[in-house]
Amino acid sequence: MSTDDSQRSESVTEEQPLPMESERIEAQMDRLVAADTDVLGAEPAAADLPVAARSSARTVMIRFFRHKAAMGGLVVLALIVILAFSSVGFGPFPGWWHQDYRVPQNIYNGGRPTLQLWPFSLGKHPFGQDNIGRDYFALVMTGAQQSIIIAFLVGFIGSAVGTVIGAVAGYFRGWTEAVLMRLTDVIITIPLVAIAAVVATIANGIGGVWLLGVFIGLVTWTGLARIVRGEFLSLREKEFVDAARSVGVPSGRIIFRHILPNTVGVIIVAATLAMSSAILLESALSYLDFGVQAPHTSLGQLINVYRSAMGPRPWLFWWPGLFIVAIALAINFIGDGLRDAFDPRQDRQKA
Amino acid sequence: MAVFVTRRLIVSFFIVLASTALMYVLVALSGNPLHDLLEYSGPGRAERIADRTRALNLDVPIPGRYGLWLQDVGKCIVPGGNDCTLGLDRAGRPVLPQLQTAIGSTLRLVVAATVLALLIGVVAGIVTALRQYSTFDYGVTFVAFLCFSLPVFWVSTLLKQYIAIDLNNWLADPTMSYAALLAVALIAGVLWAVVVGGERRTRWLVFGISALATFTTLFLLLTTDWFTKPSLGVAGILVIGLGMAFLWAALFAGLRPRTRRVLWTSLATAAIGTVVIVAAQPLMDDMSWLTFFLMALVLVGIGVAAGLVGGGHVKRLAAQIGAVTGVTMTVLMAVDQMLSSYPFVYRATGGRPIPTTGSETPNLHGDFWQTNTDLALHLVLPTLAIMLISFATYTRYTRASMLDVLNQDYVRTARAKGLNERTVIVRHSFRNALIPLATLVAFDFAGVLSGAVVTETVFGWSGMGRLFQTGLTNVDPNPVMAFFLVTAIATVLFNLVADIAYAYLDPRIRLS
């Protein structure tokens, strides 16, 4: 690997040098790059200039960790997830908050929130109580858990189905593609809220919050299927696919082991953004009475139940709403950071 | 082209057919249509169940019911038939009249939100692209992300609860303290300074001028009691019209001597347009949509004629900008008339002019302008709520697309051959940056409709959202399918239009 080449080394990292040597080259490159920029008097030796022998996964990771908004989003999301799952407990695991969201209690201080930021104290009912005295912190935390679970399920299933359908359509072409893409067109003509409301009603008939997530996931894959198909259409003409085919690698293996890893960036970004829209979709459905149903709770369902309480007890409306916004915003920022990290074209624009 | 459109129409027909079948089966399976009657234990239970079964054809299997529904739809397509009902709902009422009353309000909401979001979003996107990595850019980026993350129903409820009440209270007694005036002026100054950007001196200058202008305008409006009896008046129409004419000419033609004639014809259009509007005042009292469009046609015609007559060697450009100025004058005329009918609507609504429920004031009995003012006031809050997401989408896409174009070689070429910045941005970059938006608008339409379903529920509109929601709750497929038929056909047509527009705007694409 000559020094000239390594300036644009991202594409030349297939054969990794030995670890020792790679470090040596890296050090050398840093010096060279530094010297280069000194001469040109351009930007200071920014560490995100392409450097020899950095695997693309690592480059992506470094770019992602430099993205301030994305890191902020990651921290916020982690805090919310930890708070929601540790406070009221999950499944067999008990939480540190010892009030049940189902049990009405005496109303304390008019049901107002007792949360104090400075000096910090939670008080008896940090998020207040609802009109029959149930602890609202426990309710919101349980609702947040459900919303997060549904969002992850929707994001995961939607992305998985979309990826497989897009990949198969893009790889096999012909009538497979025609059938799958017409199916996608058919589902795309239906407004998302409409079809999601219908499948959610069916899921509620059978019962279960998890099933709701699965069903909504089964109708939100269309966008990603189109994107993945587009990627596959161009990648399947590449030499490495011809090479694999000519040595007799079966189609399934070519799709999942040879081509799919090249589209992973697009898929991860789309999956992340799908999760944030799933949070919003779930809450909108619950608000319309088609989502999570009464014995269960979710952030959207809480807003739906307490919307008439807006005047006398505004906190019943604020807390779940703020959690929805915070979760969706955090995931959106993470998605944006991932997009910047996976898409090197963004770099050129910044330069 | 004709072949392409025909083929697409045929394909679209089958797609709509398939999606209606899918939707019908899903809705029919979504629950038990006799649910409420099975829990009912009063007298006549058996008859009611029998009635419902007959109304919904429950003794026919689902595919058969879909066939029956298709037959009902077919009766609407066949010419000459007058039994077009789109099926009956479970109470035996025909769906079509319900759809006809519902579709108007929903369409108003969707169109208003799309147009506003498109205008504001594109402008914000272009400015953020031109001022990349400025405070304004970061600010708009954050706002866009926030809009992406806001649940529509939550925002709607907030708007209803806080904005509507406070705004109505303020409109009942429109006064402001000096401190509030000053605060508004300072905020406006900061906003403009951030938007315009540039050197520190420019920023301070912009800040000072815009803060002062805001303060004076607001002060004058408040002291002349404008907020209780608003109107533009002849002077207002003339001044704003001339200002907009100047803006369009400066933006799309430039002020250099070569295209100076465009400025003159555009200003002339504004002046003549004002005279025509004043002359047409007697017409205003019994205006209808027909006379309104004739009026618009006259105003645009004046612009085109002025451009063709006085445009000299830049005739075409002058005519185009004259037409834009004509449209501006029409808008100004409408705004003036609607503002003048505000006091009537204010009295009719009992002093709460920004309504939070319903899509129109019942029993208003106003003339053309008063009715439309009432409709527009009803649109304010729901539109605001659903345009936020579209606004975010348009801003982000316009920004990305504009940045993409600005990095193209042909833009560098344009700069290199010495074109001024205005020409490079408006003629070479802006037009090309708008091309991808054609597809986006079509795609976004479905999203806005989804938003409309939710927003209508919050604001208690009896629009298509209501039709859909009650239909689905009652497991009554025909109203749901009426809603769905409209949205599906609209989506398919929008996509077709987007493809044609794309090919028209980008000659590299051939329709085949």
Average of per-residue pLDDT across A317-325:
90
Cβ–Cβ under 8 Å, residues A137 and A99: yes
pLDDT digits (tens, 9 = 90+) for B192-228: 988 887 788 988 999 999 999 999 999 999 888 888 8
Mean pLDDT is highest, among A120-124, B156-160, B203-207, for B203-207
| Residue B286, Cβ density class (10 Å: 0-12 exposed, 13-18 middle, ≥19 buried) | exposed
Instruction: Please report, rounded to a whole number, the percentage of residues in chain A having pLDDT higher than 70.
Output: 82
| In the predicted structure, residue B1 carries a pLDDT above the cut 80 | no
The answer to whether B153 faces chain A, any CB pair under 8 Å, is yes
The answer to whether B276 faces chain A, any CB pair under 8 Å, is no
Question: Is the CB of B153 less than 8 angstroms away from the CB of A333?
Answer: no
| Confidence bin at A13 (pLDDT 50/70/90) | very low
| In the predicted structure, residue B497 carries a pLDDT above the cut 50 | yes
How far apart (Å, rounded) are the C-alpha atoms in residues B160 and B167?
A: 10
> Which residues, other chains included, contact B293 with Cβ-Cβ below 8 Å and sequence gap of 6+?
none
User: What is the pLDDT at residue B492?
Assistant: 87
pLDDT digits (tens, 9 = 90+) for B273-302: 999 999 888 888 778 889 899 999 999 999
Question: What string of H, E and C letters represents the secondary structure of B142-160?
Answer: HHHHHHHCCCHHHHHHHHH
How far apart (Å, rounded) are the C-alpha atoms in residues A237 and A86?
A: 49
The SS3 of residue A329 is: helix
How many other CB atoms are found less than 10 A from the CB of residue B416?
9
CA distance to A179, B1, B172, per residue, from A218 (Å): 17, 36, 51
How far apart (Å, rounded) are the C-alpha atoms in residues B266 and B303?
A: 7
| Confidence bin at A113 (pLDDT 50/70/90) | confident
Cβ–Cβ under 8 Å, residues B241 and B329: yes
Question: Is the CB of A300 less than 8 angstroms away from the CB of B151?
Answer: yes
Instruction: Please report, rounded to a whole number, the percentage of residues in chain A having pLDDT higher than 90.
Output: 25
Cβ–Cβ under 8 Å, residues A250 and A294: no
Q: Which residues on chain A are in Cβ contact (under 8 Å) with B454?
A: 193, 284, 287-288
pLDDT digits (tens, 9 = 90+) for B299-358: 999 999 999 988 888 888 899 999 999 999 999 999 999 998 888 888 888 878 888 887
| Confidence bin at A31 (pLDDT 50/70/90) | low
What does the DSSP assignment read for A79-147? HHHHHHHHHS-BTTB--S----TT------GGG----BTTTTB--S-TT-B-TT--BHHHHHHHHHHHH
User: What is the pLDDT at residue A315?
Assistant: 83
DSSP A16: P
The SS3 of residue A154 is: helix
How far apart (Å, rounded) are the C-alpha atoms in residues B510 and B3?
A: 12
pTM: 0.82
Tell me the average pLDDT of chain B: 87
DSSP B169: H
How far apart (Å, rounded) are the C-alpha atoms in residues A320 and A143?
A: 8
Cβ–Cβ under 8 Å, residues A127 and A315: yes
| Confidence bin at A38 (pLDDT 50/70/90) | very low
Supply B45's token pair: 């239970």
| Residue A239, Cβ density class (10 Å: 0-12 exposed, 13-18 middle, ≥19 buried) | exposed
| In the predicted structure, residue B233 carries a pLDDT above the cut 60 | yes
Question: What string of H, E and C letters represents the secondary structure of B210-249?
Answer: HHHHHHHHHHHHHHCCCCCCCCCHHHHHHHHHHHHHHHHH
Q: Residues A105-136, buried b or exposed e (16+ Cβ, 10 A)? A: eebeeebebbbeeeeeeeeebbbbbbeeebbb
CA distance to A128, B196, B420, per residue, from B131 (Å): 45, 9, 17
> Which residues, other chains included, contact B13 with Cβ-Cβ below 8 Å and sequence gap of 6+?
none
| Confidence bin at B512 (pLDDT 50/70/90) | low
CA distance to B130, B197, B235, B338, B410, per residue, from B424 (Å): 12, 19, 36, 39, 10
The amino acid that residue A87 corresponds to is: S
| In the predicted structure, residue B101 carries a pLDDT above the cut 90 | no
How far apart (Å, rounded) are the C-alpha atoms in residues A137 and A100?
A: 10
| Confidence bin at B477 (pLDDT 50/70/90) | confident
User: What is the pLDDT at residue B511?
Assistant: 67
Question: Is the CB of A349 less than 8 angstroms away from the CB of B403?
Answer: yes
The SS3 of residue A220 is: coil
Q: Which residues on chain B are in Cβ contact (under 8 Å) with A333?
A: 145
Residue in A185, A187, A193 closest to B454 by CB: A193
Average of per-residue pLDDT across B153-157:
88
For tokens 């038990």, what's the residue? Answer: B32
Cα angle: B409, vertex A343, A331; to 5 degrees: 130
Question: Is the CB of B23 less than 8 angstroms away from the CB of A198?
Answer: yes
Question: B94: which strand partners?
Answer: B88
The answer to whether B357 faces chain A, any CB pair under 8 Å, is no
How far apart (Å, rounded) are the C-alpha atoms in residues B121 and B143?
A: 12
Q: Which residues on chain A are in Cβ contact (under 8 Å) with B151?
A: 280, 283-284, 287, 300, 303, 321, 324-325, 328
User: What is the pLDDT at residue B239?
Assistant: 94
Weakest-pLDDT range from A239-248, A325-334, B87-96, B261-270? B87-96
pLDDT digits (tens, 9 = 90+) for A125-172: 778 787 777 888 888 898 999 899 999 999 999 999 999 999 999 999
Question: Is the CB of B16 less than 8 angstroms away from the CB of A317?
Answer: no
Q: Which residues on chain B are in Cβ contact (under 8 Å) with A349?
A: 403, 407
> Which residues, other chains included, contact A158 with Cβ-Cβ below 8 Å and sequence gap of 6+?
A216, A217, A218, A220, A221, A224, A271, A274, A278
How far apart (Å, rounded) are the C-alpha atoms in residues B252 and A10?
A: 44
Number of Cβ pairs < 8 A linking chain A and chain B: 128
Average of per-residue pLDDT across B412-425:
91
Q: Which residues on chain A are in Cβ contact (under 8 Å) with B148?
A: 276, 328-329, 332
| In the predicted structure, residue A319 carries a pLDDT above the cut 60 | yes
Cβ–Cβ under 8 Å, residues A148 and A256: no
Cβ–Cβ under 8 Å, residues B360 and B366: no
Residue in A198, A280, A303 closest to B27 by CB: A198
Q: Which residues on chain B are in Cβ contact (under 8 Å) with A311?
A: 161
Q: Looking at chain A, which residue has its C-alpha nearest residue B470?
A: A288
Weakest-pLDDT range from A82-86, B41-45, B71-75, B138-142? B41-45
Mean pLDDT is highest, among A115-129, A285-299, B82-96, B286-300, for B286-300
Average of per-residue pLDDT across A259-279:
89
CA distance to A105, B132, B192, B214, B420, per residue, from B202 (Å): 62, 18, 11, 18, 20
Residue in B145, B450, B472 closest to A198 by CB: B472
| Confidence bin at A17 (pLDDT 50/70/90) | very low
Cα angle: A340, vertex A342, A343; to 5 degrees: 65
The amino acid that residue B55 corresponds to is: A
User: What is the pLDDT at residue B241?
Assistant: 94
In terms of phi and psi (left: phi > 0; alpha: psi -120 to 50; beta: otherwise), the region of B87 is left
| In the predicted structure, residue A9 carries a pLDDT above the cut 70 | no
Supply A136's token pair: 């609202």
| In the predicted structure, residue B138 carries a pLDDT above the cut 70 | yes
Question: Is the CB of B149 less than 8 angstroms away from the CB of A191?
Answer: no
Cβ–Cβ under 8 Å, residues B15 and A182: yes
Instruction: Please report the ipTM that was assigned to this predicted complex.
Output: 0.82
| In the predicted structure, residue B494 carries a pLDDT above the cut 60 | yes
How far apart (Å, rounded) are the C-alpha atoms in residues A146 and A297?
A: 7
Average of per-residue pLDDT across A180-190:
88
Cα angle: B455, vertex B457, B459; to 5 degrees: 70
The amino acid that residue A351 corresponds to is: A
Instruction: Please report, rounded to a whole number, the percentage of residues in chain B having pLDDT higher than 90.
Output: 28
Supply A21's token pair: 């040597």
| In the predicted structure, residue A40 carries a pLDDT above the cut 70 | no
Q: Residues A57-76, buried b or exposed e (16+ Cβ, 10 A)? A: eebbeebbeebebbeebbeb
Question: A121: which strand partners?
Answer: A116
pLDDT digits (tens, 9 = 90+) for A72-94: 999 999 999 999 888 887 877 78
How far apart (Å, rounded) are the C-alpha atoms in residues B299 and B283?
A: 15
Average of per-residue pLDDT across A217-246:
91
Supply B226's token pair: 């404008």
How far apart (Å, rounded) are the C-alpha atoms in residues A339 and A93?
A: 36
For tokens 């555009």, what's the residue? Answer: B266
Average of per-residue pLDDT across B477-506:
85
Question: Is the CB of A190 less than 8 angstroms away from the CB of B473?
Answer: no
Closest approach of chain B CAs to the CA of A51, in angstroms?
Answer: 25
